[in-house]
Amino acid sequence: MAFAVQGIDHVEVFVRDIAATVCWYEEVLGLKKEGGWDPEPILIGAGGNYLALFQARGGGADNGDDDRQPPIRWRRVAWRTDKDGFAAAQAHLRSRKVDFDGPIDHGGSWSIYFHDPDGNPLEITCDV
């Protein structure tokens, strides 16, 4: 295989209250706020491993598969690679006939998005 991930970059999580969740993870696990976008997600983590906290809409009730109104749950697992691995990942997915969206420029990183055979959302990302 010409491509292999290097590790998990971040896991996206929908929460009821981002600020309260940041405080909880800081106090309980020692995670630190590492940045984010305005207004979300907020990145918290340790050792290069991050949670990307998103605001759940509608009080976090289960809204099925509507990505715009997600329930409180994990959203997606993002696998990290380097620039060469990112290009190789796209070629590898194409060769395996795995459809993906992207690449998407996040202004500091690039990502592609796809699903496993059970429909679980995945991402491969690399820093610019």
pLDDT tens digits along 37-80: 888 899 998 888 899 999 887 654 554 555 565 667 777 888 88
CATH of the domain at 118: 3.10.180.10
- The DSSP 8-state label assigned to residue 107 in this structure reads S
Cβ-contact 113, 122 below 8 angstroms: yes
- Does residue 11 lie within any of the structural domains? yes
Percent residues over pLDDT 90 in the chain: 39
pLDDT digit string (tens) for 66-77? 556 566 777 788
Q: Measuring CA to CA, which residue among 106, 105, 41, 108 is closest to residue 74?
A: 41
- DSSP letter (8 states) at residue 67: T
Domain that holds residue 107: 7-127
18 in any annotated domain: yes
Give the pLDDT of residue 31.
Answer: 86
CB-facing half-sphere around the CA of 21: CA atoms within 13 A: 19
Structure tokens at 39: 């207004």
pTM: 0.68
Instruction: Please indicate, yes or no, if residue 89 is contained in any of the structural domains.
Output: yes
Task: Evaluate whether residue 41 is within a structural domain.
Answer: yes
Mean pLDDT of the chain: 85
User: 24: number of CA atoms within 13 Å, CB side?
Assistant: 9
Structural domain includes residue 1: no
| Domain count along the chain | 1
